[in-house]
Structure 1
Amino acid sequence: MEEDGLAALRAKRMQELQGQFGAGDPDEQKKRKQQQEQQQEMLHSMLSQILDQNARARLNSIALVKPEKAKQVEAMLITMAQRGQIADKMTESQLVGLLEQVSGKSQKTTVKFERRRVMDSDSD
């Protein structure tokens, strides 16, 4: 009898966990996937209205290397468009300026070489 109760508790807990992580209902997974696809499609259509072709290509290449930075810039662009700060399609040079603002000039990498000085005993 204890084993039946234990098995029932395990089954109940497994259902709760599956509900939390979305591993339960396949219909819910399909709905979530469709919602994510719709959101991505809306994002891409908005960005294609905001950016010209060259700027869009640059943003896509940035997304391959630094996806988190690309997401940040995309969110910034959409916010700017919603506020009316972008009148015409943004060109590649304007996007580069925006990227510089996001990354900041302070993150410029510099390399400094220090050569070791050799002490020569003959020169004394």
Structure 2
Amino acid sequence: MAFDIIQTDQAPAAIGTYSQAVRAGKTVYISGAIPLVPATGDIVEGDFEAQVREAFANLKAICVAAGGDLGKVARLGLYLTDLSNFGTCNAVMTELFSAPYPARSTIEVKGLPRGVAFEVDAVMVLD
């Protein structure tokens, strides 16, 4: 099976040896999106909620570039450096997703790239 590499300038470029996303058949595996502003590569200014919103905006841009949208996401992985911010993630997600919600794991981690407080990855299934 051939893999299609997904790349968009509407989301930050990869900062390591990985692709923004890889499509295998109808499944798209989206790498971790962190709250970097695509135009500058800088961490978004603001609080934890601003970081969550920017990371999800980057995730959405990659979904669109792959031919889908957030509604096609089957699974999310959320990574937080402080699990006490869990409620903020849920609040933002209720604005971006509707039932039935994607499967999800939420994991507290010691650190994330560039010192951000939030990262999200996803698996999307296209029609």
| Bigger RCO (CA 8 Å, 6+ sep) | 2
Normalising by structure 1, what TM-score? 0.27
Structure with more strand by fraction: 2
Give the number of the structure whose alpha-carbon radius of gyration is greater: 1
Q: Could you say which structure has the higher helix fraction?
A: 1
TM-score (norm 2): 0.26
